[in-house]
Chain A
């Protein structure tokens, strides 16, 4: 679906993304994890066309889409959400979703002046779609509220809702669970899962909540200091000493992440170990009432 081939990006002297290479498979939910500053969001921004890579290529369904602007990628079905929701605060929730469908005839000024009937009819159809999405996300009761008045979690749902307004093929979710309470988080998780299963959405998501990652994602790709240091199932990456190193603060053990070779990448290991910050959190799983714990 998305092939990422040797993407690099530097900001001044900081190598934010360094020769990253992996594939987001069609129909899957790929997790992208790593400590803060690992370059995950930068990579997302490059994939969605918000930043230009210094090197490397991005292939979408085999086509080279490197360097295309966001709106062109959007029309190819590649959609992103943001870590900090980018809602349109002084517009209603409904309007936030009405914006999304592409090529609305009313987006041409002349049409709004001369063919108002047609524009209105089209808007009514889009409105029906909005009702459906709001219903799916349990946001119907706040439809006419200004989006700026929503809670943090509801804004995250709204972000997800925006991707549902078109037939997205690949959705890049940047921390859909950050700062969201448990109930709403379950809501978001279920929505992602249903979109994946019932509507065939491919997801790639960045998340720090290891519960959510473990419940949803396979495979999981781990980044640290701009590089991919491991990928595999959650269990596999959790057991990887490189990953443990990265989460404990690379270099503590005397072996910097920068010393990792190609051979290290994508390797899996069986030897788990105690002291792995992220994995411990997972095992204690807070109020997780889910049966289907692992794919």
Chain B
């Protein structure tokens, strides 16, 4: 591959990794800080992507809208829509043990995906939503570097929001809830309220990532929100990077996305006749990697407590 191609690939790679970093940060609020198990990351990701797509595309009979609104309005809509979905789910599950949240989120993510697939009037069904404008395309043009810069800016914003939240008294209560819920209740905190806030905040970030994804790729269809890409990889990233540590979440996103991309080169070498097996092999490799991490370094590359984290 000549240099130009490599650079193009590098920009593409970093942009996608950046989107995953936002997802991982969102999951870190829920799992890393609060101990919530959300196995429906893909669902919130999808809600954000479709919301922003519908808000920003031009008017079309193919799906609801479009409303031709600016990129930033689309992203804000994505955050709000995912947040609303999270409030709905959270309202019913926050008072239950976290296991039930896990089960509920698996179900909800699938319901969302199937709805997107089947409600043609809303989403154009399996044919997907095309023509989603690139960020700031009218003023800044279509240079992929612009998209990369925009997405990295959003990664920084997300990082700042989550890191500030983590070190604040709010984050302190969340970490305490993760450690011992009864203890937090005995300390006079309304545990259900904090859990709901954390869940909504994390889901809002996932929605933001969805919006960024839609504008970056320009076309979305329900296939893009299968649990493998939307949920499983994000979990591996967070655990590998270090749950509870925001720098770990970002690092994990870039590192795992690099590995995931590398496995594609590897399996491409197998040739077209093994394409299906190669796809399965990639998932298998990542699964094995997750096992290895959990056994050898369960606290992740950047553990939450640095040297003090001895256990």
B179 touches which one: A89, A107, A111, A116 (CB < 8 A)?
Answer: A89
Q: Is the CB of A109 within 8 A of B201?
A: yes
* Chain B interface residue number, banded: 20 to 34
Closest to A110 in B: B170
Interface segment among A67-75, A203-211, A248-256: the answer is: A67-75
B169 touches which one: A96, A98, A113 (CB < 8 A)?
Answer: A98
Taking CB atoms, residues of chain B closer than 8 Å to A119 are 168-169
Interface segment among B51-59, B180-188, B223-231, B267-275: the answer is: B180-188
A95 CB-CB contact with B under 8 Å: yes
Q: Which residue, of A87, A91, A109, A148, has the highest number of chain B Cβ atoms within 10 A?
A: A109
Taking CB atoms, residues of chain A closer than 8 Å to B168 are 106, 109, 111-112, 119
Q: Is the CB of B170 within 8 A of A107?
A: yes
A48 CB-CB contact with B under 8 Å: yes
Q: Is the CB of A91 within 8 A of B179?
A: yes
A79 touches which one: B169, B182, B186, B308 (CB < 8 A)?
Answer: B186
CA distance A100 to B191 in the complex (A): 13
A178 CB-CB contact with B under 8 Å: no
Which A89-144 residues sit within 8 Å CB-CB of chain B?
89-92, 95-96, 98-100, 102, 104-109, 111-113, 116, 119, 122-123, 144
Taking CB atoms, residues of chain A closer than 8 Å to B187 are 74, 99-100, 162
A247 CB-CB contact with B under 8 Å: no
Taking the nearest CB of chain B, how far is it from the CB of A237, in angstroms?
A: 29
B172 touches which one: A95, A105, A109 (CB < 8 A)?
Answer: A95
Q: Is the CB of B186 within 8 A of A112?
A: no
Q: Is the CB of B188 within 8 A of A74?
A: yes
Q: Is the CB of B188 within 8 A of A71?
A: yes
Taking the nearest CB of chain A, how far is it from the CB of B80, in angstroms?
A: 15
Given contacts A95-B172, A113-B164, A148-B311, contact A86 B188 (CB under 8 A): no
Which A45-98 residues sit within 8 Å CB-CB of chain B?
48, 50, 69-71, 74-75, 79-82, 86-92, 95-96, 98
Taking CB atoms, residues of chain B closer than 8 Å to A106 are 168-170
Taking CB atoms, residues of chain B closer than 8 Å to A113 are 161, 164-165
Taking CB atoms, residues of chain B closer than 8 Å to A100 are 187-188
Q: Is the CB of A90 within 8 A of B165?
A: no
CA distance A79 to B197 in the complex (A): 25
Closest to A86 in B: B183
Given contacts A116-B164, A146-B305, contact A90 B186 (CB under 8 A): no
B189 CB-CB contact with A under 8 Å: yes
B305 touches which one: A90, A98, A122 (CB < 8 A)?
Answer: A90
Q: Is the CB of B304 within 8 A of A90?
A: yes
Which A150-180 residues sit within 8 Å CB-CB of chain B?
162, 166
CA distance A99 to B180 in the complex (A): 12
Q: Is the CB of B304 within 8 A of A112?
A: no
Taking CB atoms, residues of chain B closer than 8 Å to A166 are 188
Taking the nearest CB of chain A, how far is it from the CB of B247, in angstroms?
A: 17
A99 touches which one: B161, B165, B176 (CB < 8 A)?
Answer: B176
Taking CB atoms, residues of chain A closer than 8 Å to B169 are 98-99, 104-107, 112, 119, 122-123
B190 CB-CB contact with A under 8 Å: yes
Taking CB atoms, residues of chain B closer than 8 Å to A71 are 185, 188-191
A108 touches which one: B170, B180, B189 (CB < 8 A)?
Answer: B170
B173 CB-CB contact with A under 8 Å: yes
Closest to B201 in A: A109
Taking CB atoms, residues of chain B closer than 8 Å to A87 are 179-180, 183
Q: Is the CB of B186 within 8 A of A48?
A: yes
CA distance A74 to B169 in the complex (A): 18
B195 CB-CB contact with A under 8 Å: no
Closest to A148 in B: B311
B215 CB-CB contact with A under 8 Å: no
Closest to B176 in A: A88
CA distance A166 to B309 in the complex (A): 29
Q: Is the CB of A70 within 8 A of B185?
A: yes
Taking CB atoms, residues of chain A closer than 8 Å to B201 are 109
Taking the nearest CB of chain B, how far is it from the CB of A152, in angstroms?
A: 16
Q: Which residue, of A92, A107, A113, has the highest number of chain B Cβ atoms within 10 A?
A: A107
A50 touches which one: B164, B176, B185, B308 (CB < 8 A)?
Answer: B185
A88 touches which one: B161, B175, B190, B308 (CB < 8 A)?
Answer: B175
Q: Which residue, of B178, B179, B187, has the highest number of chain A Cβ atoms within 10 A?
A: B187
Q: Is the CB of B184 within 8 A of A99?
A: yes
Taking CB atoms, residues of chain A closer than 8 Å to B179 are 87-91
Closest to A126 in B: B169
Q: Which residue, of B180, B185, B188, B311, has the highest number of chain A Cβ atoms within 10 A?
A: B188
Q: Is the CB of B186 within 8 A of A99?
A: no
Given contacts A82-B183, A109-B165, contact A75 B188 (CB under 8 A): yes
14 A-B pairs (CB sep. < 8 Å): A69-B185, A71-B185, A71-B188, A71-B191, A79-B188, A87-B180, A89-B179, A91-B179, A92-B308, A99-B189, A100-B187, A106-B170, A113-B165, A146-B308
Residues of A within 8 A of B (CB): 48, 50, 69-71, 74-75, 79-82, 86-92, 95-96, 98-100, 102, 104-109, 111-113, 116, 119, 122-123, 144, 146, 148-149, 162, 166
17 new A-B contacts, CB < 8 A, other than A79-B186, A82-B186, are: A70-B185, A70-B188, A71-B190, A71-B191, A79-B188, A80-B186, A86-B183, A87-B183, A88-B180, A90-B309, A91-B175, A92-B308, A99-B189, A109-B197, A113-B161, A113-B164, A162-B186
